[in-house]
A and B are shown apart, each in its own frame.
Chain A
């Protein structure tokens, strides 16, 4: 894992002091709320429906046990004993007091954490593949590049007041587990003629105008990455719209100019403004890569223990995947236990997980964009012990990638922007599809739920997407089908008129029946069937003879 240098430490500490100063000036009335708001947002502090909300960065989703313990401590001391993991691999506290926030930031800085640029119109936390460095088909580990970009983007003097927020994701292989193509900039590490570099995508995003990112460069040499990012950001900062908040993201600029015109502006900035000092030499790269080496794992022939316990076997099948070093496994921990808000973990669970990771996974924990956690390096022979331990903490739900493994935003229970609740919908789904075998029969299926058009719950890219709407004071839910956040990224299509909360489960059942009817063989998954038969069949089955419940 990355370790802070003296410079990192100084920067983070001075930032705490600066924020403390800003809070003081706000309370004294020397900063108006209008002035304070962008400053607090740049420190991850929102005002939500009931209280402030603090979003803490987990750079590229990587946590140490020590950091997780500190998060649990903060949840207990300054919040209500839980936290919410987000789709950008961060964690949110829902109830902090403004007066406590400088102290919370000081606590975080003691374990090399912060809340810098987790909100506001600046470059946000860099997100990545939660399996980075763990799989065989990876061209290169993306995390060192995330760290290089994190440094460059932190307190960037030129790009801290952009037209709108700016999200970057980096992946290191063909498989996309980071929803890279719905980011403002997506980077994929690629190899060409024995040279490793980046394939660069720009202008993706969700919200009210969902767009899949366009490729702007097929190959960019590694050393140029920061200069190229700088050229894109320069173009966006100058040309991006500031007259309308809904048209201010880079995706709208790329759309309005067209990718070719946008590319020519970027390439011109790249050739004219590139700065030698921003080039990354091999020595830099080597130094940063040094932080991300695997722990001392010895390849061995240990098998996964066999036990006559169906629950354990289901968990192995569903949540455990092989590590690139033989004899080890990657254990995925579902934060979608029945009745629990997706992505939430209590402080007790976090403390237990910190201890578990120390015992079983070299003190390392990862956060996934699908709001789950990962123990990256578990010895095969420990899997049964680990499962028993996780089960005690209600952290052994076997549903990874299945219908109850929903992505879900906080919705109107917490969020000031939401138009409907989303957590109760997710809970209804997990209650209705409680049975593992039933879920397994439905197969791989991603349901993603947002409580408003801003799409924090990624509904546009759900195989089944659910969007909460307000219709004359009533919560209604619009369904989209066929979305994907993977390497075949697709925006889902709206199936038709929306459903009340009481009709929603029946609607999902009908959609699943259409799928089952057309499924050619056991392994043909929902998305494949949808792509083959199109939305028409689903529409017909869904709306003909629909019995409306009031």
Chain B
């Protein structure tokens, strides 16, 4: 898997912590946490200035103001299916309501045809298979800049 940030390719620096290994001392720069793990540990993480990611499923994009999500370094949303449009609205909420300024990444079942939509809703990057890179870039080029909304 690779990370595409618009047309630039990156290696993934984030890693999940297995549930059985989830100990506070195992959290380090680049750890991916679930929202419940984040809720339990966010104060320590902030005290120690660790850059972690918080992960959501497209099925459960819910958040409250107490979550202080803007303090996370990265948020990853896993699409269970590309047909689920909730993450597009969730991305808008993260940017406009929760003031999240870090990297917002889409992963899971997403289509290259959705690339521009994702970017325009506030996503920065997508996690895709390396062999699919060309088609993602091709569709980015066909669609870029062609839309009516601000």
Report which A residues bind B (CB closer than 8 A): 7, 10-11, 14, 17-18, 21-22, 25, 30-31, 35, 38-39, 121, 151-152, 154-163, 234, 237-238, 242, 272-273, 275, 277-278
> Which of B92, B135, B142, B147 contacts A273, CB < 8 Å?
B92
- Count chain A CB atoms within 10 A of each CB in B96, B142, B143, B149 and give the residue with the most: B149
A18-B142, A272-B97 known; A157-B116 Cβ under 8 A:
yes
What is the predominant secondary structure among interface residues of chain B facing chain A?
A: helix
**Residue pair B139, A10 in contact (C-beta under 8 Å):** no
Contacts A35-B111, A155-B117, A157-B88 aside, 9 further interface pairs with beta carbons under 8 A come to A7-B148, A14-B142, A121-B83, A151-B148, A154-B148, A155-B147, A156-B149, A161-B84, A161-B85
Q: Considering the chains assembled together, what is the distance between the CA atoms of A157 and B119 in angstroms?
A: 9
Are B121 and A237 neighbours in the complex by a CB distance under 8 Å?
no
**B133 CB, min distance to chain A CBs, angstroms:** 13
How far in angstroms is the closest Cβ of chain A from B97?
Answer: 7
Q: State which size class the interface on B falls in.
A: 20 to 34
| B82–A35 CB distance below 8 A | yes
Q: Tell me, in angstroms, the Cα distance from A105 to B99 when the chains sit together.
A: 41
Min CB gap A130→B, angstroms: 25
Contact with A along B110-135 (1 / 0, CB 8 A): 01010011101100000000000001
Name the distance in Å between A493's Cβ and chain B's nearest Cβ.
36
Residues of A within 8 A of B116 (CB): 157
A242 and B59 alpha carbons, distance in the complex (Å): 9
Task: Out of A157, A234, A242, A272, name the residue touching B149 (CB < 8 Å).
Answer: A157
Query: What distance in Å separates the Cβ of A50 from its nearest Cβ neighbour in chain B?
Result: 27
Set of chain A residues within 8 Å of B139, measured between Cβ atoms: 18, 21
Taking a contact as CB atoms under 8 Å apart, the answer to whether B149 and A22 are in contact is no
Q: Out of A38, A152, A237, A277, name the residue touching B89 (CB < 8 Å).
A: A237
Inter-chain contacts of A156 with B (CB < 8 A): 149
B49 interface residue, CB < 8 Å from A?
A: no
* Chain B, residue nearest A278 (CB): B150
Give the chain B neighbours of A273 by CB distance below 8 A: 92, 96-97
A-B contact pairs, 28 of them (CB 8 A): A7-B148, A10-B146, A11-B146, A14-B146, A21-B139, A22-B113, A35-B111, A39-B111, A121-B83, A155-B117, A157-B118, A157-B121, A158-B85, A158-B88, A158-B92, A158-B121, A159-B85, A160-B88, A161-B88, A163-B85, A234-B89, A237-B85, A237-B88, A237-B89, A238-B61, A238-B89, A273-B92, A273-B97
Assess whether A21 is in contact with B146, with CB atoms less than 8 Å apart: no
Chain B residues within an 8 Å CB radius of A25: 135
Q: Which residue of A lies closest to B79 (CB)?
A: A161
B72 CB to nearest chain A CB (Å): 21
B39 at interface, CB cutoff 8 A: no
In the complex, A25→B83 CA distance in Å?
A: 18
**A279 (CB) vs chain B CBs: closest residue:** B150
Top 3 nearest A-B pairs by Cβ distance? Answer: A161-B85, A277-B150, A157-B120
On whether the beta carbons of A11 and B148 are closer than 8 Å, the reply is yes
Taken together as a complex, chains A and B put the C-alpha atoms of A278 and B120 apart, in Å, by 15
B86 sits at the interface (CB 8 A): yes
Q: Which residues of A contact B148 (CB under 8 A)?
A: 7, 11, 151-152, 154-155
Residues of chain A within 8 A of B97, CB atoms compared: 272-273
| A18, B141: Cα distance in complex, Å | 10
Q: In the complex, which residues of chain A have a beta carbon less than 8 angstroms from the beta carbon of B147?
A: 11, 155, 157
Task: Verify if B9 is at the interface (C-beta below 8 Å from A).
Answer: no
Which residue of chain A lies nearest to B117 when distances are taken between CB atoms in the complex? A157
Interchain CB contact under 8 A, A18 and B88: no
Find out whether the CB atom of A152 lies under 8 angstroms from the CB atom of B149.
yes
Q: Nearest chain-B residue to A273 (Cβ)? A: B96
Complex Cα–Cα for A22 and B83 (A):
16
The answer to whether residues A234 and B85 also contact, given A14-B143, A158-B121 and a CB cut-off of 8 A, is: no
Give the CA-CA distance A162 to B85 in the complex, in Å: 6
Kindly list chain A residues whose C-beta atoms are within 8 Å of the C-beta of B82. Answer: 35, 38, 161
With most chain B CB atoms within 10 A of its CB, the pick from A159, A161, A275 is A161
**In B74-119, which residues have CB < 8 Å from any A CB?**
82-86, 88-90, 92, 96-97, 111, 113, 116-118
Contact (Cβ within 8 A) B111 A18: no
B92 A18 Cβ-Cβ under 8 A: no
Task: Give the chain A neighbours of B150 by CB distance below 8 A.
Answer: 275, 277-278
Closest chain B CB from A276 CB (angstroms): 9
**B147 CB → nearest A CB, Å:** 6
**Which B residues are CB-close (under 8 A) to A275?**
150
CA distance A38 to B110 in the complex (A): 13
Q: Which residues of A contact B117 (CB under 8 A)?
A: 155, 157-158, 160
Instruction: For residue A229, give the distance in angstroms from its CB to the closest CB of chain B.
Output: 12
Q: How far is B85's CA from A278's CA once the two chains are assembled, in angstroms?
A: 21
Residues of A within 8 A of B84 (CB): 161, 242
What CA separation (Å) do A280 and B71 show in the bound complex?
35
- B contact residues around A21 at 8 Å (CB): 138-139, 142
Enumerate chain A residues within 8 angstroms of B111, measured Cβ to Cβ: 31, 35, 39
Bound complex: CA A409 to CA B27 (Å): 60
- The interface residues of chain B lying within 8 Å CB-to-CB of A278 are 149-150
Residue of A nearest to B145 (CB): A10
Bound-state CA distance A543–B84 (Å) is 48
